[in-house]
Structure 1
Amino acid sequence: MTSETLFYCILGIIVLHFLLETTLDVLNARKFSDPVPEELENLFEKSEYLKSQQYKKTNFRFGLLSSGISLIVLLSMLIFGGFGWLDSLVASISPYPIIQALVFFGLLLFGADVLSLPMSYYHTFVIEEKFGFNKTTPALFFADKVKGWGLMLLFGGGLLALIMVFYQWAGTDFWWYAWALIAAFSVFMNLFYSKLIVPLFNKQEPLEAGSLKSRIENYAQHVGFELKNIFVIDGSKRSTKANAYFSGFGREKRVALYDTLIEDLEEDEIVAVLAHEVGHYKKHHILINLCASILLTGLTLFILSLFLNQPQLSLAIGVTTPSFHASLLAFGLLYSPVSEVTGLVMNYFSRRFEFQADRFAGETYAAQPLIDSLKKLSRKNLSNLTPHSAYVFFNYSHPPLIERIRALHAPKTIR
């Protein structure tokens, strides 16, 4: 296949992906005004529901604008030789391939983030502010950006440099070593993300002794779940939206509750949410997801090794001197349809896992408190109660609220 053919393939993939996402967004937006399912009719007051409708429509219009700008920038980079210009720039900075790759991707990602900064700022301080969600300050917003860039440089740059060392040493067999490296990194981050990364952005404090902690510990003991680490995160300094998550495994497992979650829910509802998270652990969902991610990474790296030495990849994006970093970028663009398919599969199983975790919570604690918590969180977050089925299929990692409630009322239907 010639570089010209690959060029048009890349253009076609980018445009078709944009059209697919836009079509799904439009289909979903047309469902905004559908009648609310009977089980959810009393979830919102009329004024609240009108507010949620407006929030969804505002985000829909903003998403169209944002994705349209991204499409124009990416197509411009391809059509007008932006990637070739960037490659020439990094070649003038250093003759060493590893440094060239680091500078190439560093400038590319940093530039993309800077270009998207006005949109991100607008979404946070105009849209989220307007609908009562934003609690962050401009200083905190930019501090988060700087920290994010630092982490990208440290971890992203470090991994890329090591992968290139493997490539220079082992040739096309580099993928074995890169796979082992990324697998080890994934396991490490899964174990220690909450200890190492979260404190850079949020304060984590152990849940204070009291009625809630006692009820959580009693439940954990009831289901044979050893739980020593229960933390409260100050999510309220950025947003009013509530959340909870489970991370790690073995001795490093911990539950994190956002302070907004504790403020919004009753104690039995919080325990039900935690029971759901414990369900993920008991059903081995965390380990399954980790293993699936590692296997997919191995498959991707293997396919990459088959194409990496093809100069047509670099030429297809306008880089006249073939290189590792240009081939990697071109491969990423060409591989995106495969990533889309694997993402669909992962989302499908993620939704099934959510049903299973809900069922576990219903059977080991109680279904009604979990239902009440899901309703409160949906109301608090102005969630979409009538999503389009196609949009759910392509984009949702969690089932829609109505499906979760119906499954909890009849948990034996979920296997």
Structure 2
Amino acid sequence: MKEASEKARLYNLDRSYFGFFREIFSICQKALIIWILLASILWNLSTQITYKYFGYQNEVVSTIMFFLLQTAISAVIDIPFSLYSNFVIEERHGFNKYTLKFFLWDTFKKFLVFQPIISLLVGGATYIIIRFEDQFFFYLWLFSSGTAIIFMVIYPSLIAPLFDKYTPLEEGSLRSEIERLATQIKFPLKNIFVVDGSKRSSHSNAYFYGFFKSKQIVLYDTLFDKDSPYFKKNQEEKAATTEESENEKSDSASTKKTDEKKATGCTEKEIVAIICHELGHWYHSHIFKNLVISLFNLFFIFKIASLFYNDTVIYHAFGFYGENNMPRFIGLTIIIETIFLLYFELYNFGMSIICRKFEFQADNFAKNLNFRTELINALIKLNKDNLSFPVYDWLYSLLLHSHPPILDRINALRKIDDKID
């Protein structure tokens, strides 16, 4: 236990040092962007590109080009940090499963997939602001809310499979127990999938998605313990497809190291307990409540931002001079990223408190269905496997963690048990 605690401490120290350095870099980067008026430079470049290839100026097209350039620059800047995070920190602690080739291809593919989506959203939002002017906030809110809901629907079934392989959970005792649980609480389960998260990392997860009467449960293959038939079958499939190149041998050695580090994984009963916790979020409508809060928050932000988006002082501060040089959607994003900084901190703090309450409710839901012991065991194993540090200062945790620390959750489960039984 002492050895596991020390490993978790060292891992979290590495993550904290890295996060601190990255935050300092981000602050310096933002200061440099403001100092050299990078936003106006990119905008001028965007208008030149638009005029060169289209023969006329168009604010919608120029704004799309602006964000294409911005996201491309951000992606390039982010690559060294992602490389260090995966191939130094995660590798050092036995979590990384990436090869360099796979990492670069994965990063490039994400960029290619999401750029058309970003372009459509930016183009639509810019058109709405131009079309409805001072009343744009309501229509932009409708557009943003609609696209957010659509994205929640299509992402798991259309976009996520582009990056990971989703395999239906084979027939067996685990599937039967999950289906029995779903029937017991009237959860509209359509299918259960296992995703090959182990090709990137050995971190574990489980979740469900879907609207109305068609919901799917997803289990990461890293969730299963070594005695699980699925784990053994998965390892056999990986061994059968491994190529005998030097790179693959190196990757195989890394995988073996990770498997040796992996403490336990979860038994089938513990996996069902984890699923029961997740279904507790559904039972208490936590996702719907979070969505409603987010949509009201979005409306508030757009409404307040609409009061300032035509203010020339803000545009001048970022290098946009002249009445005809006020790109409206870019101005709106600048306002949101600057004026709302303090508000976002308060909002995130409030949401963390709500999310922590939701976690306790979901734990209680699993406990009431007689999964208390299994859930406690699963939390301990996941905490150990993921090298999560169990002890935090209460104020630090309250400010920065959306989930309660494991000791708080275990103590709450035991107190609930004492109170009811």
Same fold (TM over 0.5): yes
Deviation by residue 1:58-107 (Cα, 9 ceiling, x = unmatched): 11211122111111111011112222322222232232111221122221
Distance in 2 of aligned mates of 1:151 and 1:245:
23
Query: Cα distance, 1:356 vs. partner?
Result: 0.2
Query: Cα distance, 1:183 vs. partner?
Result: 1.3
Distance in 1 of aligned mates of 2:42 and 2:351:
34
For 1:318, the aligned partner's letter is: G
For 1:113, the aligned partner's letter is: A
Query: Cα distance, 1:407 vs. partner?
Result: 0.8
1:59 aligns with 2:60: no
Equivalent residue, structure 1, for 2:295: 294
Equivalent residue, structure 1, for 2:270: 269
Equivalent residue, structure 2, for 1:354: 359
Report the TM-score, using the length of structure 2 for normalisation.
Answer: 0.84
Choose 121-130 or 385-394, whichever is displaced more.
385-394
Q: Secondary structure at the match of 1:265?
A: coil
For 2:130, the aligned partner's letter is: Q
1:364 aligns with 2:320: no
Question: Does the 8 Å contact 1:407/1:413 carry over to 2?
Answer: no
For 2:283, the aligned partner's letter is: K
Equivalent residue, structure 1, for 2:105: 143
Equivalent residue, structure 2, for 1:335: 340
Distance in 2 of aligned mates of 1:152 and 1:413:
50
Deviation by residue 1:215-269 (Cα, 9 ceiling, x = unmatched): 1112222222232211111111111111001212212311111011123100110
Query: Cα distance, 1:133 vs. partner?
Result: 0.1
Deviation by residue 1:365-387 (Cα, 9 ceiling, x = unmatched): 32010010000000001102112
Question: Does the 8 Å contact 1:314/1:326 carry over to 2?
Answer: no
Question: Does the 8 Å contact 2:126/2:329 carry over to 1?
Answer: no
Equivalent residue, structure 2, for 1:249: 211
Distance in 1 of aligned mates of 2:143 and 2:219:
31
Equivalent residue, structure 1, for 2:389: 384
Question: Does the 8 Å contact 1:163/1:174 carry over to 2?
Answer: no
Residues 202, 121 of structure 1: alpha-carbon distance in 2 compared, 3 angstrom cutoff: same
Residues 166, 325 of structure 1: alpha-carbon distance in 2 compared, 3 angstrom cutoff: closer
Distance in 2 of aligned mates of 1:225 and 1:85:
53
Question: Does the 8 Å contact 2:129/2:329 carry over to 1?
Answer: no
Question: Does the 8 Å contact 2:125/2:329 carry over to 1?
Answer: no
1:222 aligns with 2:222: no
203, 213, 217: which one aligns with 2:165: 203
Question: Does the 8 Å contact 1:315/1:322 carry over to 2?
Answer: no
Structure 1 stretches of 5 or more lacking a match?
Answer: 1-43
Distance in 2 of aligned mates of 1:96 and 1:394:
44
Q: Secondary structure at the match of 1:309?
A: coil
Equivalent residue, structure 1, for 2:245: none
Equivalent residue, structure 1, for 2:140: 178
Question: Does the 8 Å contact 1:316/1:330 carry over to 2?
Answer: no
Residues 412, 285 of structure 1: alpha-carbon distance in 2 compared, 3 angstrom cutoff: farther
Distance in 2 of aligned mates of 1:322 and 1:338:
25
1:235 aligns with 2:200: no
For 2:172, the aligned partner's letter is: G
Choose 393-402 or 145-154, whichever is displaced more.
145-154
Equivalent residue, structure 1, for 2:413: 408
Question: Does the 8 Å contact 1:231/1:257 carry over to 2?
Answer: yes
Question: Does the 8 Å contact 1:308/1:324 carry over to 2?
Answer: yes
Question: Does the 8 Å contact 2:192/2:217 carry over to 1?
Answer: yes
Query: Cα distance, 1:413 vs. partner?
Result: 9.7
Report the TM-score, using the length of structure 1 for normalisation.
Answer: 0.85
Give the root-mean-square deviation of aligned CA atoms. Answer: 1.7
Query: Cα distance, 1:279 vs. partner?
Result: 0.6
Equivalent residue, structure 2, for 1:159: 121
Distance in 2 of aligned mates of 1:340 and 1:404:
25
Distance in 1 of aligned mates of 2:155 and 2:107:
18
Q: Secondary structure at the match of 1:241?
A: coil
Q: Secondary structure at the match of 2:340?
A: helix
Choose 149-158 or 341-350, whichever is displaced more.
149-158
Residues 92, 354 of structure 1: alpha-carbon distance in 2 compared, 3 angstrom cutoff: same
1:322 aligns with 2:326: yes
Distance in 2 of aligned mates of 1:319 and 1:386:
49
Query: Cα distance, 1:185 vs. partner?
Result: 1.6
Distance in 2 of aligned mates of 1:187 and 1:365:
34
Question: Does the 8 Å contact 1:319/1:326 carry over to 2?
Answer: no
Distance in 2 of aligned mates of 1:211 and 1:272:
14
Distance in 2 of aligned mates of 1:118 and 1:216:
41
Query: Cα distance, 1:189 vs. partner?
Result: 2.2
Deviation by residue 1:311-338 (Cα, 9 ceiling, x = unmatched): 1221122222322144123212221221
For 1:399, the aligned partner's letter is: P
Distance in 2 of aligned mates of 1:179 and 1:93:
30
Question: Does the 8 Å contact 1:240/1:260 carry over to 2?
Answer: yes
1:394 aligns with 2:395: no
For 2:151, the aligned partner's letter is: M
Q: Secondary structure at the match of 2:387?
A: coil
Query: Cα distance, 1:273 vs. partner?
Result: 0.3
Distance in 2 of aligned mates of 1:229 and 1:395:
34
Distance in 1 of aligned mates of 2:347 and 2:277:
25
Structure 2 stretches of 5 or more lacking a match?
Answer: 51-56, 226-264
Query: Cα distance, 1:135 vs. partner?
Result: 0.7
Query: Cα distance, 1:339 vs. partner?
Result: 1.7
Q: Percent identity?
A: 34
